């Protein structure tokens, strides 16, 4: 089992990574009170809830379970209220610990509920998708969508422990595994060309769920993300490079309606577009763009964007939260493994979108 410490001063916390990390790591030890509320969804609950609650029961905890509907379209204020209401009905107090059992949606909503229930209660993440293990485990971003924009409402709030039990990936649909690989690829692309090379060599093993390959990809992703986050907890600067592929990706998700494409799929094609934009600015050569695009495709991800009018793309990206002080800032690659953040003239972005649509 791997163990990693995310260093954020008094908000530091450990991540345990491994098959059966739920049974083998000491995560229950960080729970102070007796009362625990587990938040999961109707898909994940039947698969993994029993293992979790039996461990909590054995530790003498009193457990309330909140089961949410499954899907990005439920990452809303209405679903959040289901959590609040269940907590209040169970008389959960400020010492109650929330446990998120599920993918990114469950993690984001449970984290935000924890950040805001009685002005903040402790929470623990048990991510059950590859995407959540490599992405949501680190960074403390929590929140919900608003009808006018994705992730517009939220808080930075750190978990007390993250348990990435690789056994939960056995039951993950292939499409969701690929979606998780998008973020793994991203971590290599933005800061670690060596890791990107490793991914390229091991992409078939990853898609085939080779345990050792998955374990390394989760560990290295969490390491990279925590190094970036530790230097910029509240996303005022460098942390923005983690949004590589996300500006275009969010436009895909918002443009098609949330849930049509998976987040990771949108990020996959978003990285292709961001690489093309980098190339257009003279930062990346054709071979590098093709290499990155090939890795994304071999991971089972789309490399072609859905058809949308260019004006709609630009509008959707302008409302994105990275639009600061009126200009949209893009994450670009100055070579593979070296991301930078820059404002780009809208006309150039439009040109890249048109070329991609015509290719």
Whether the CB-CB separation of 296 and 308 falls below 8 Å is answered with no
Structure tokens at 246: 């996300």
d(CA 26, CA 23): 8
Grouping H, G, I as helix, E, B as strand and the rest as coil, residue 338 is: coil
Q: Is 312 in the site for its own copies (CB under 8 A)?
A: no
Please give the residues from 24 up to 43 whose contact with its own copies meets the rule CB under 8 A: 33-34
- CA distances, 206 to each of 148, 183, 216, 301, 337 (Å): 36, 13, 10, 13, 20
Active site residue 239: yes
Structure tokens at 33: 């009170």
Kindly state whether residue 318 participates in binding its own copies, applying the rule CB under 8 A: yes
CB distance 71 to 176 below 8 Å: no
Q: Is 48 annotated as a binding residue?
A: no
The enclosing H or E element of 249 equals helix 246-256
Catalytic site residue from 141, 160, 186, 220: 141
Q: Which of 84, 209, 210, 357 binds its own copies (CB under 8 A)?
A: 84
Indicate if 324 belongs to the active site: no
- Token readout for 158 is 């750190």
For the record, the structure tokens of 343 come out as 């404002």
The reply, when asked if residue 43 is annotated as ligand binding, is no
Out of 235, 342, 346, 351, the only residue in the binding site for its own copies (CB under 8 A) is: 235
The single residue among 153, 207, 211, 281 that binds its own copies, judged by CB under 8 A, is 153
| Out of 14, 56, 64, 149, the residue judged to bind its own copies by CB under 8 A | 149
24 vs 21, 81, 134, CA distance in Å? Answer: 5, 33, 20
From residue 160, how far is each of 8, 146, 231, 353 by CA, in Å?
11, 27, 19, 42
User: Least distance to its own copies from the beta carbon of 91, Å?
Assistant: 7
Residue keyed to tokens 């590098």: 288
Q: Is position 169 annotated in a ligand binding site?
A: yes
Q: Does 170 bind its own copies (CB under 8 A)?
A: no
Residue whose entry in the numeric block shows the structure tokens 């990771």: 264
> Rounded to an integer, what distance in angstroms lies between the CA atom of residue 72 and that of residue 129?
14
Phi and psi, residue 12, nearest 5°: -65, 150
Site track for its own copies across 96-135, x = CB under 8 A = ----------------x--xxxxxx---------------
From the CB of 113, what's the least distance to its own copies, in Å? 9
Identify the active-site residue in 10, 78, 119, 307: 119
Question: How open is the CA angle 88-91-94, to the nearest 5 degrees?
Answer: 90
Q: Which of 160, 239, 276, 298 is catalytic?
A: 239
* 94 makes contact with its own copies (CB under 8 A): yes
User: Residue 348: which of 321, 322, 330 has the closest Cα?
Assistant: 330
Question: To the nearest whole angstrom, how small is the minimum distance from the Cβ of residue 155 to its own copies?
Answer: 6
Q: Among the candidate windows 53-61, 123-131, 187-195, 319-327, which touches its own copies by CB under 8 A?
A: 319-327
Is 351 a residue of the active site?
Answer: no
Q: Mind telling me the catalytic residues?
A: 119, 141, 183, 225, 235, 239, 243, 246, 250, 263
Which residues does the annotation place in the binding site for Zn(2+)? 183, 246, 263
Which residues does the annotation place in the binding site? 70-75, 104-108, 128-129, 141, 150, 168-171, 183, 246, 263
Q: Which residues bind its own copies (CB under 8 A)?
A: 33-34, 77, 81, 84-85, 88-89, 91, 93-95, 112, 115-120, 141, 143, 146-149, 152-156, 234-235, 318-319, 321, 323-326
């Amino acid at each position: 089992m791997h163990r990693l410490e995310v260093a954020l001063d008094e908000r530091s916390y450990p991540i345990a990574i491994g098959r059966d990390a739920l049974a083998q790591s000491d995560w229950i030890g960080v729970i102070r009170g007796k009362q625990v509320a587990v938040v999961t969804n109707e898909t994940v609950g039947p698969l993994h809830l029993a293992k979790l609650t039996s461990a909590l029961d054995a530790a003498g905890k009193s457990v309330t379970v909140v089961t949410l509907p499954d899907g990005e379209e439920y990452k809303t204020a209405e679903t959040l209220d289901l959590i609040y209401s269940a907590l209040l009905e169970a008389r959960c107090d400020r010492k109650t610990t929330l446990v998120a059992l599920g993918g990114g949606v469950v993690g984001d909503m449970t984290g935000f509920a924890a950040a805001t229930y009685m002005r903040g209660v402790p929470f623990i993440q048990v991510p059950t998708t590859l995407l959540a293990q490599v992405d949501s485990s680190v960074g403390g971003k929590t929140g919900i969508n608003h009808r006018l924009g994705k992730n517009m409402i939220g808080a930075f709030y750190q978990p007390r422990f993250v348990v990435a039990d690789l056994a939960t990936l056995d039951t993950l649909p292939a499409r969701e595994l690929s979606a998780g690989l998008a973020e793994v690829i991203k971590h290599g692309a933005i800061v670690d060309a060596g890791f990107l090379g490793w991914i390229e060599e091991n992409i078939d093993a990853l898609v085939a769920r080779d345990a050792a390959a998955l374990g390394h990809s989760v560990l290295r992703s969490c390491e990279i993300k925590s190094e970036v986050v530790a230097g910029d907890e509240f996303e005022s600067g460098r942390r923005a490079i983690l949004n590589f592929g996300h500006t275009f990706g969010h436009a895909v998700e918002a443009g098609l309606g949330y849930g049509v494409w998976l987040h990771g799929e949108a990020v996959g094609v978003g990285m292709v577009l961001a690489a093309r934009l980098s190339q257009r600015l003279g930062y990346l050569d054709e071979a590098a763009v093709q290499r990155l695009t090939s890795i994304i495709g071999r991971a089972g991800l789309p490399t072609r964007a859905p058809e949308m009018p260019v004006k709609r793309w630009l509008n959707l990206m302008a409302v994105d939260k990275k639009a600061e002080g009126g200009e949209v800032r893009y994450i670009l690659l100055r070579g593979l493994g070296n991301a930078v953040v820059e404002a780009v003239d809208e006309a150039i972005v439009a040109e890249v979108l048109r070329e991609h649509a015509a290719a």
